[in-house]
A and B are shown apart, each in its own frame.
Chain A
Amino acid sequence: MAADLIWAVQIYLGLGAVAALGFLGIGLDRIDENARGAWVFRPFLIPGILLIWPLVLFRWWQLERADTEDTEGQGRFRPPLLWQPRLALLLAVAVPVMILGAMVLRQDGPNEAPAQLIEPAQ
């Protein structure tokens, strides 16, 4: 199981390396004018591309197709962060539960009495 997982991760990162080559070599100049002629910062993008290359390819394709700078319109000034309060409130419930639970369930408990090896005398 673990071996398969590691193998899958290696394949994923390997494909990511190919994507990184293609994107940094060709794609970047085509879709982002601020990157044209800027080479020093490119190695900094490699880890990100390795990790989320499917998303990178998707955005590349989207930007090639849209062919316009402004694909977001007014939305960018009001980013739809509906999920932030939801996640925060979820965390607000989960964190106390986890901490309390872990304290209560402690393997050897904070108030554990020493083990009685010998039966106390009557």
Chain B
Amino acid sequence: MSVKYTPVQWNPNKWVYDAVLLAIVAIYISVFLRLGAAEADVSRPIDGAVLRMRAFGTCAFFMLSAILCIGPLARLDDRFLPILYNRRHFGVLTAIVAWTHATYVYNWYFNFSQINRLEALLSSNTAFGQILGFPIEALGVFAFVILLILAATSHDFWLSFLGAPLWKRLHLLIYLAYGALVAHVALGYLQDTENPTFALLFSAAALGVVGLHVAAWQVGRMRSAKGEWVAVCAPGDIAEGRARIVQLGPKERVAIFRYDGNRFSAISNACAHQNGPLGEGRILDGCVTCPWHGFQYRMADGCAPAPFTEKVPTYDLRLEDGQLMVQRHANPPGTAVDPLAVTGMEATP
């Protein structure tokens, strides 16, 4: 199967998602511009350009914090998964907001320098040896470059071209960027404001991010330590033609489908195309259909119907004390597994 690349993938959900994001950014910026001036030290009033610069800078920081919260939230509770799927648009918007911030800095603080402005930005403070008065510009530039790389490589093409493992490793750079940004703000804006509002919001966001990561890590460890077979739910809890998604490891999800009334099969939740959530797909023509681009897989062996060649891993299932149990370790992609027929449930043809 193949799907031609398009510049930006939009569907009605993503339109809504992006519209909500844009609205929040617009509200944040206008509120900051209205209230932010009062937050500054009265003895050092700031003017419009600096205020705008801070509005966009802090906005980008909070956006990045929100982005980093999405991953652990989705691991803690499946209901956050829909936000996860559109995270890339969120990231690109963050890079744009950060770009605006950087442009203000560049055009304001270094506008009257004798030398090239970029050169001035990089060389105006080189006191790397001290903590207070540390050249926060360098930290900002570092984080900004990472944001640019991640935004520029967020298109579907990059995921398939670099391959999922490499792409994900590249995108782990987000953590370094976030660390640098916390330092950038802590040694920069945080030093200037006398009013605790920003300090509180900033600390809450940053500590929230790390707190959620630690929590998700803990829960992930607890969840993955359950032995060879993992309990899913009672067979009747899964609606006909739908799936239950279960987390097996920190990054491994299995989708257990019910079909024909009393049959159950388990396949990887990650689509072979671009890791779309198969467990949220419908069953069409006896195949699971990926909600993202419509790739299909047979329930019995995880293979796409001929002439296509995509395969996903399957999992063994069994029934124990009225509970569906799924084998912790996946079978190689395309392995045939007989569906589990639960006696006592009504089969529908």
Contacts and interface: CB of A to CB of B under 8 A. Distances in A.
A99 B4 contact: no
Query: B interface, by DSSP: helix, strand, loop or mixed?
Result: helix
B179 interface: yes
A11 to B, nearest CB: 15
A101 interface: yes
B5 A34 contact: yes
A38 B7 CA distance: 9
A98 B131 CA distance: 10
Given A1-B123, A6-B116, A95-B182, A81 B168 contact: yes
A51 B149 CA distance: 6
A45 B6 CA distance: 11
A118 interface: no
A29 interface: no
Interface residues of B, number: 71
Interface in B38-68: none
A3 B214 CA distance: 42
Given A59-B161, A79-B168, A95-B207, A2 B186 contact: no
A48 B163 CA distance: 15
A78 to B, nearest CB: 6
Contacts of B190: 99, 102-103, 106
Interface of B: 2-8, 116, 118-120, 122-123, 126, 131-133, 145, 148-149, 151-153, 155, 157-158, 160-166, 168-170, 172, 175-176, 178-179, 182-183, 186-187, 190-191, 199, 202-203, 206-207, 209-211, 213-214, 217, 249-252, 268, 270, 272, 275, 312-313, 330, 332-333
